[in-house]
Structure 1
Amino acid sequence: MPFPFFGDDKSTIAKLLSTLPQTGRLEWIGLRPARREPLLSVPEATVETDRHLAGDHARPKAGGKRQITLVQQEHLAAVAGYLGLEAPVDPGRLRRNLVVSGLNLLALKNRQVLIGDTVVLEITGECHPCSRMEEELGPGGYNAMRGHGGITARIVQGGLIRVGDAVRVAPMAAPAAKPE
């Protein structure tokens, strides 16, 4: 019997990209009360459809691709390692809204994720570091964050999220049948 991804006429890469059975976990939620202010770590937050997190100063436009930002918890230790720190970087210092563990967020571009029971996010792209990382993390902060800055997302459906919520990849829609 051939390996399930080989020996048939369907795209191997398409099958591999659609195979994301893991379930992640929401580890941290941060709100920016005002520009350049420290993030507030909160146990729960209201996610507003096609807008932002309630209580966050950012006011992205409706339909925007950067309504909320996420970073992987696993990258906090990597960034710390690049900076010569022994403990993982505090997520509030990275200025991202959500920290997720257990999922490779970079593998989710153009996919949707479900957080808790109601929230749906569409992953839109990478969240590259800015020069502010030098200010926040010290010399080398910008380069330590390269490749570890997280992702941006559009809020498809809002609701209440809580630290500890499951983060699941939404199933991909089946491709339309080709006419014969």
Structure 2
Amino acid sequence: MKLPPADSALGRLMASLPRSGRVEWIGVRPGRDEPVIECDEVSAETGAGLVGDRYAGGSGKRGVTLIQAEHLPVIATLAGLDAVHPATLRRNLVVSGIPVIALKGRRFRVGDVVLEGTSPCDPCSKMEEALGPGGYNAMRGHGGLCARVIDGGRIRRGDTVAALQAELDLQ
């Protein structure tokens, strides 16, 4: 999707994130099909990802995955479940209070770490097994965001999530 010019009316609206968010949950995925490990804090390495996560050291575009806390009840409802635990969805960070998809193409700070939103984090076919019949479609549009680590450091549960600048970084 090509983003509108930053100086256009739509570009200014898309760049406006007046409130910050908060990290509600952290998890790392040590390997494919291995259980997610819930953490109170995690180290992020520049260009690599989260220490202990299976995507650490890869291309970096998927170094950290984020999902909207407010979307968890929506996903559960659409999948016909009472609730969905964050580990089931295999994302690294559950964030509340800020629309994570609005961080696509932007740099933002999470705790000590600077991330850059690279692409939507679409669900994989494993969500059908994890959530039951219809689980894949329940997550469509609610999968969150992939990000790369620009400046490493620590991310802790309760840390603030905030956009770094008003204009969109990638167009």
Counterpart of 1:130? 124
* Residues 1:113 and 2:108 aligned together: yes
- The answer on 1:79 being equivalent to 2:75 is yes
Cα pair distance change 1:174/1:115, threshold 3 Å: closer
Change (3 A) 1:45 1:15: same
Contact 2:50 / 2:56 at 8 angstroms: preserved in 1? no
Inter-partner Cα distance in structure 1 for 2:92 and 2:43: 12
TM-score, normalised on structure 2?
0.89
Question: Would you say the 8 A contact 2:86–2:94 is kept in 1?
Answer: yes
1:172 shift after superposition: 3.4
Q: What TM-score does the superposition give when structure 1 sets the normalisation length?
A: 0.85
Task: Please tell me the residue identity of whatever aligns with 2:42.
Answer: A
Correspondences of 1:55-94 after superposition (within 5 Å): 55-62=52-59, 64-87=60-83, 89-94=84-89
* 3-state DSSP of counterpart to 2:22: strand
Question: SS at 2:88's partner residue?
Answer: helix
- The alignment covers a number of residue pairs equal to 163
Q: Deviation at 1:30?
A: 0.4
Q: Which of 145, 159, 162 is residue 139 of structure 2 equivalent to?
A: 145
Segments of 5+ residues of structure 1 without an aligned counterpart are 1-9, 176-180
Higher Rg: 1
The code of the aligned residue for 1:46 comes to S
What residue number does 2:3 align with? none
* Cα contact 2:47–2:148 (8 A) shared by 1: yes
SS in 2 for 1:14: helix
Q: What is the Cα deviation at residue 34 of structure 1?
A: 2.2
Runs in 1 of length 4+ with deviation above 4 angstroms?
none
CA distance in 2: counterparts of 1:28 and 1:19, whole angstroms: 25
Query: What percentage of residue pairs aligned between the two structures are identical?
Result: 52
- Provide the aligned C-alpha RMSD in A: 1.7
Counterpart position of 1:44: 41
**Structure 1 residue 17 displacement after superposition:** 1.6
Structure 1 stretch 101-110 or stretch 138-147: which is displaced more?
A: 101-110
For structure 2, the 5+ residue unaligned runs are 1-6
Aligned to 2:4: none
Q: Give the drift of 1:13.
A: 1.1
